[in-house]
Amino acid sequence: MNKKQLIFSLLILLTVIAVACGGETPAAVEEAADTTETVVEEAAEQGAETAAEASGDVEEILEDAAAEIEAAADDIMETLGDPVEYVIDPEQSEVRFELDEELRGNPTTVVGVGNGIMGTISVDLSDLTTAEISPITIDPAALFTDNNMRNGAINRFILQTSSFDEIIFAPSSLEGLPQSAAVGDTVDFQIVGDLTIRDITQPATFEASVTVSSDTMLTGSAEAVIQRADFGLEIPSVPAVANVEEEVELYLDFVAQN
């Protein structure tokens, strides 16, 4: 391979590496390229007497640089396409439900909040069509409102947490994803799956928005609306409570890290 072919090959390899690294050429590769350029310039200044020797030095350096850059490109290309698993951090994540009722004749929005949420997200940012979300589990006993009596009724009669210690959402498909994403991008899509509350499972779809906060962190939210009757969530008869809304709004705010 002559010098022109080697230089052309180096340019192609440098381009491949830069694209794979999000447009930035690794420092080690830049250093090799700078060294090669310096030697070429020095060789051009040698003059006719040392041209043959300089040419041999340049060709040897070009061959070594080409081998090193090709190896770096192979390593980078091998990592492309590998999904990264992000684990939801319960301490930084929150699940919430909301519904309206009348409490002692006053319109009231009941809000229950907890952080007992677990699950993983596996994603290759260069190909979001392969993304997967594990079953998301929620600890119903960790949900609290601002009323202790209501909390007791939710645990004992509505969610029956002593018998059913998990609420599970099992995703079956992700719809509306773009082809790829990069750090700083926010992606809006739908998570379709089955939601199990107590011993009743019904289909559910969450509208999700996820931001690639960094190479190691995803942050996002998801929300859905369910009907109490679909899951047999009957409200105990209490004189002070009336006109409990049939729709329940569910919200998930999460931080996931690898």
Q: For 41-52, how does the pLDDT look when each residue is reduced to its tens digit (9 = 90+)? A: 555 565 545 555
Q: Specify the pTM.
A: 0.71
Architecture of domain 84-257: Beta Barrel (2.40)
Strand ranges, E, within the chain = 84-88, 94-103, 106-114, 117-118, 120-123, 132-133, 136-138, 167-175, 186-197, 200-214, 217-227, 241-242, 247-257
The one-letter code for the residue type at 3 is K
Pairing of strands 84-88, 247-257: antiparallel
Q: Where are the domains of the chain?
A: 3-79, 84-257
Dihedral-angle region of residue 184 (phi above 0 means left; psi in -120 to 50 means alpha; beta otherwise)? left
In this prediction, residue 204 carries a pLDDT of 98
In this prediction, residue 33 carries a pLDDT of 54
Q: Of the spans 23-37, 49-63, 167-181, which averages the highest pLDDT?
A: 167-181
Strand ranges, E, within 77-157 = 84-88, 94-103, 106-114, 117-118, 120-123, 132-133, 136-138
The one-letter code for the residue type at 240 is A
CA distances from 251 to 59, 113, 206, 221 (A): 63, 9, 9, 7
Confidence of residue 63 (pLDDT cuts 50, 70, 90): confident
In this prediction, residue 162 carries a pLDDT of 96
Please check the confidence at residue 54 and state whether its pLDDT lies above 80.
Answer: no
Task: Calculate Rg over the CA atoms of the chain.
Answer: 29
Please check the confidence at residue 103 and state whether its pLDDT lies above 50.
Answer: yes
Specify the long-range contacts of residues 20-28, CB closer than 8 Å, at least 24 apart: 20/73, 20/76, 20/77, 20/80, 21/76, 22/182, 26/72, 28/72
Record the tokens describing residue 179, joined without a space.
Answer: 């082809």
Direct distance between the N- and C-terminal alpha carbons of the chain, in angstroms, rounded to an integer: 44
In this prediction, residue 4 carries a pLDDT of 52
What mean pLDDT do residues 64-69 have? 68
Q: What is the Cα 203 distance to its own chain's centre? A: 23
In this prediction, residue 82 carries a pLDDT of 82
Please check the confidence at residue 78 and state whether its pLDDT lies above 70.
Answer: no
In this prediction, residue 48 carries a pLDDT of 47
pLDDT in tens, 10-36: 555 555 555 455 444 555 445 555 555
Q: In percent, how much of the chain has pLDDT > 90?
A: 67
In this prediction, residue 1 carries a pLDDT of 55
Helices 51-79 and 3-20 cross at an angle (nearest 10°) of 30
Which letter does DSSP use for residue 246 in this model?
Answer: S
> Using CA atoms, how far apart are residues 208 and 253, in angstroms rounded to an integer?
10
> Using CA atoms, how far apart are residues 6 and 59, in angstroms rounded to an integer?
8
Please check the confidence at residue 184 and state whether its pLDDT lies above 70.
Answer: yes
Confidence of residue 72 (pLDDT cuts 50, 70, 90): low
Cβ-contact 210, 216 below 8 angstroms: no
Least confident interval from 7-16, 63-72, 118-127: 7-16
> Using CA atoms, how far apart are residues 120 and 191, in angstroms rounded to an integer?
14
Taking residue 84's Cβ as centre, other Cβ atoms within 10 Å add up to: 14
Please check the confidence at residue 258 and state whether its pLDDT lies above 60.
Answer: yes
In this prediction, residue 254 carries a pLDDT of 98
